[in-house]
Amino acid sequence: MQLGRNLARVVLPIAFAAFIAAGCGGDDGVLGIGGIPDDAVCTVDGSPIRTKEFDRMFGNAEQQYKDNGRDFPKKGTDDYTNLRSDLVEYLVNRELIKNQADKFGITASDKQIDKGVKDLKQQVAQGDEKKFKKEMKRVGYTMALVRQDVEFDVLSKAVYKRVVSDVKITDKDAQKYYDDNPDQFKTKESREIAHILVKDKAKADQIYAQVKGGDEKVFAKLAKANTIDPSSKDTGGVLPGGPTQQGQTVPEFDKAAFALKTGEVSKPVKTTYGWHVISARSDINPASTKKFSEAKADIKKQLKGEKEGEHFQEWNTDVRKDAEDDVHCRKGYVWKQTVPTSDSAATAPAPAPAPAEDASADDSKKSDSKKSDSSKKSDDAKATDTKGTDSGDATSGSDASK
């Protein structure tokens, strides 16, 4: 049985996984001449990248496509050629980072590797040794290979930390960001809202007749029995993710929800997703603006993460340029030694810390997070038309929000 988080997805190094997701690559070709062992695809400063390793990781990529329900590129297509080039790109860069770790005197201890393997087992198999071994077998891994990949993860993160150690963000930097992005620190009016969503008005009218008195227990019972919004089915119809901000849902829903008095239930409201009977569960929280003193720590963390990522990318580009004469590949395998055109972190061995995961820099991001949570939990209720500055994503929301 396939585990919820399979080994190929979790162990497959972050840099190459990013290439697979982005689908970017280069042309087929040859870089450098001579000195390449028969069982290698490239050499990096004389160290071979074995064909066996290339084939193993290419197989892992194919497994990841399969596990994600995607068709693997057919041999001879541009996508297939690009994927091969992307893997060469990753493997060469991995050797370069390992060489830099040696120069920095950075090593991975057995204790660090053991902890990494333990964490991996928890991610992949909830710590179950038997399940983990079964998953290793399914994706063609051995414990030696797992430890090898975990070791590189430890090294790459340590190199990243060393390279960005001198990055600093001042209070002045944070103040400038706060002043330049005022809307990110504003929170609109909000309130807790419950609803029952059905497809036709006749059904909505029947439900309204039973809940218009405002009895929350009756409302919850009818929501569980009738709503077509699965996320609020077991919450008494309450939209998840905390209070809903004004403008976060589709216009018809939003207008009705914020016009109600506390405890009042609306007559059926039509949206493109059906008919909603809406209950206002709380008073309207007033709009507010977060003070700089309250936002400063989160802003500095966000800016530090961004600056670290830029600094590391510049450093890594210099390392690649310096290595151009030391990398040689067979025909059919290409290392793109020029600066990548993609902004993805695919060439970085360890990703820059993601500020949005650790702490948001502002209320806008907290709103985005709530919207993201709501879109996962409330596909039929809540709007998540996000415009956050971190992710750049616009996540389609729920029925009420669309």
Planar angle of CA 223, 224, 226, nearest 5 degrees: 65
Give the chain's end-to-end CA distance (angstroms, integer). Answer: 37
391 or 35, which is more confident? Answer: 35
- What band does 9 get if pLDDT is binned at 50, 70 and 90? low
For 227, other C-beta atoms within 10 Å of its C-beta total 25
Strands of the sheet with 274-280, listed across from one edge? 193-198, 274-280, 269-271
| pLDDT at 376 exceeding the cut of 60 | no
Mean pLDDT of 304-325: 94
pLDDT, tens digit, 9 for 90 and up, residues 58-89: 988 888 888 888 999 999 999 998 899 899 99
Lowest mean pLDDT: which of 174-188, 329-343, 381-395? Answer: 381-395
Give the pLDDT band of residue 365 (cuts 50, 70, 90).
Answer: very low
Which span out of 23-32, 88-97, 300-309, 358-367 was modeled with the highest average pLDDT?
A: 300-309
Q: What is the reported pLDDT for 67?
A: 83
Query: What pLDDT, on a 0 to 100 scale, did the predictor assign at position 397?
Result: 40
131 has a pLDDT exceeding 80: yes
CA–CA separation, 155 and 176 (whole Å): 35
Summary mean pLDDT of the chain: 80
Q: State the average pLDDT over residues 140-161.
A: 93
Tokens 């800016």, residue located: 303
Question: Judging by beta carbons within 10 Å of its beta carbon (0-12, 13-18, 19+), is residue 283 exposed, middle or buried?
Answer: exposed
Residue 23: pLDDT over 90: no
How does residue 370 score in pLDDT terms, banded at 50, 70 and 90?
very low
- How many Cα atoms within 13 Å fall on the side-chain side of residue 138? 19
Does residue 337 carry a pLDDT above 70? no
Tell me what the mean pLDDT of segment 321-350 comes to: 65
Helix, strand, or coil (residue 275): strand
At 386-399, the pLDDT tens digits run 333 333 333 234 44
Domains of the chain (ranges; CATH) run: 7-165+298-350 (1.10.4030.10), 186-280 (3.10.50.40)
Q: Among the ranges 8-22, 69-83, 336-350, which has the highest mean pLDDT value?
A: 69-83
Higher-pLDDT residue of 19 and 176 is 176
* Both structure tokens of 6: 């399979």
Output the CA–CA distances (angstroms, integers) from residue 181 to 175, 388, 389, in the order listed. 10, 11, 10
Of the ranges 6-20, 160-174, 244-258, 284-298, which one carries the lowest mean pLDDT score? 6-20
pTM for this model (two decimals): 0.63
Kindly tell me if the per-residue pLDDT of 148 is higher than 50. Answer: yes
CA distances from 92 to 160, 196, 342 (A): 17, 56, 17
Secondary structure of residue 165 in the 3-state scheme:
coil
Q: What is the pLDDT of residue 68?
A: 85
pLDDT of residue 400: 52
Cα radius of gyration (the chain): 26
* pLDDT reported for residue 260: 97
- Whether 358 has a pLDDT exceeding 70, the answer reads no
Closest to 114 measured CA to CA, from 154, 141, 75: 154
pLDDT of residue 380: 43
Residue 342 CB partners (closer than 8 Å, separation 6+): 22, 24
Q: Residues of 335-358 as b/e, b for ≥16 C-beta within 10 angstroms? A: bbbeebeeeebbbbbbbbbebbee
Q: Say what the pLDDT of residue 64 is.
A: 86
Q: How many angstroms separate the CA atoms of 356 and 393, rounded?
A: 12
pLDDT at 314 exceeding the cut of 70: yes
* Average pLDDT of the segment spanning 282-300: 97
Residue 47 has pLDDT above 60, yes or no: yes
Please compute the mean of the pLDDT values over residues 226-249 and round it to a whole number: 93
C-alpha to C-alpha distances, 321 to 144, 161, 324, nearest whole angstrom: 32, 21, 5
